[in-house]
Amino acid sequence: MAYRARASRTGGIGGGGSPVGPRPAARHPPPRPRARVSCLQRGRPASGERRLMCRIVSYLGTPVLLEDLLYSPDSALLNQIIHAQMLDMLNLAGFGMAAWDPASHGPDSPFVYRTTQVGVFDRNLKLLASKVAPHALLAHIRGVPYNSSVQINEQNVHPFKFDRVPLAMAHNGDLAGFRTMRFDLVEHVRPELAQHIQGSTDSEWLYALTVSGLADPYRINEPDAILAAIGQALAIVRDVRARHGITRSSSCNLIFCDGVNLIAVRYTFDFGRFEQARLQGTMQFLSMWYTFGRDYGLHGDEWKLVGGAASADSIIVASEPLTRDIATWIEVPEYSALVVRRDGDRRRAEIHALEV
């Protein structure tokens, strides 16, 4: 499988290469050279077909109260269920999270919570969020089509994490033609891992493909090994799509976390290609943003990390900013991976261009 990840010319963010910091006072993303619908635009395409979008937030840094990531900011993850900034839709198909709490018993294993209940009505989650302070989090709200063919159950709720495998994954997007593809994908999944697949989603198969690509999926791997396994999984999907003549645009925004590493991928197969010509130009890349610094909390009247790259020990990656003011947030480029590395007491993030 041909795959290569190369470091972007911008180099490291928060260390290594040329630093890139938050944009001064910008409240909207800068214009892109190619025409497309702004990722801040609400609503559905002109054709009337609604674009699906799940919601994800991941955090890695010093311990922070769950409530301050899931509820407190004006565009916190749970608030996005009904008041999203980007690709407005109701996310009604469940909530899940993996949270690594350093004060808990067995801190290397995350607390995993999954429910098909709409998160804003989940009293247990609200109470839990006011008590747990993880140093790492991967949380996901599932978005699905509004029809009876969709399977709503806990087995399909993200993030996915197999027994004894440290790495967890959440997915924002969908693979066109997945039902046709999965019979070809199974040969690339380790048999002992394939038996853990319980749900019916394309996302769980993407996860199984990725962890199968690790030399030892049962230990904490280095960031470069995880990135290589992700690239290999995407290359397998690309080849299977080609084998079956599948060319419809399919989004693969993925976030992986194991309590030590955080890697986020913003990728789309055949962007802009749809069966109906009238849909051309009406879609956009599913969004992914990040912010970094230290001491996450309410500073003045804004929830944010402070200090920037010089003292960064924490990072938040999300499908959309957690605040209405996005001045301290940076958009992950399309066809790129964001890799977070430990550098002494600091954390630095690097952008790698994906060549799949």
Q: How far apart are CA 180 and CA 284, in angstroms?
A: 25
Amino acid at 2: A
Rg (the chain; Cα; Å): 19
pLDDT at 16: 36
Q: For the full predicted model, state whether its pTM sits above 0.75.
A: yes
pLDDT of 120-167, one tens digit each? 899 999 999 999 999 999 999 987 666 777 787 789 999 999 999 999
Q: How far apart are CA 32 and CA 20, in angstroms?
A: 18
Closest to 81 (Cα-Cα) out of 326, 319, 325: 319
Q: How many other CB atoms are there within 10 angstroms of residue 285's CB atom?
A: 23
Q: What is the CATH number of domain 4-355?
A: 3.60.20.10
Return phi, psi of residue 85, to 5°.
-80, -35
Print pLDDT tens along the chain (356 aa). 455 555 543 334 443 333 344 333 333 333 333 333 333 433 344 344 445 678 899 999 999 999 999 999 999 999 887 877 776 666 666 899 999 999 999 999 999 999 988 888 999 999 999 999 999 999 999 876 667 777 877 899 999 999 999 999 999 988 999 999 999 999 999 999 999 999 999 999 999 999 999 999 999 999 999 999 999 999 999 999 999 999 998 999 999 999 999 999 999 998 866 665 444 444 678 899 999 999 999 999 999 999 988 899 999 999 999 998 899 999 999 999 999 998 888 999 999 999 88
E strands, the chain, in order: 4-13, 55-60, 95-100, 111-115, 136-141, 168-173, 250-257, 262-266, 268-269, 289-299, 302-306, 314-318, 330-331, 336-343, 346-355
Q: How many other CB atoms are there within 10 angstroms of residue 268's CB atom?
A: 19
Q: How far apart are CA 19 and CA 349, in angstroms?
A: 10
Q: How far apart are CA 284 and CA 95, in angstroms?
A: 24
pLDDT at 298: 94
pLDDT at 343: 87
Pair of tokens at residue 86: 């980007």
pLDDT at 3: 58
Q: How far apart are CA 154 and CA 113, in angstroms?
A: 10
pLDDT at 202: 93
pLDDT of 241-260, one tens digit each? 999 999 998 999 999 999 99
In sequence order, what are the residues at sequence separation of 6 or more whose Cβ sits closer than 8 angstroms to the Cβ of residue 353? Answer: 5, 6, 7, 8, 333, 335, 336
Q: Which residue has the tokens 């800068």?
A: 30
Q: How far apart are CA 312 and CA 14, in angstroms?
A: 7
Cβ–Cβ < 8 Å for 119, 79: no
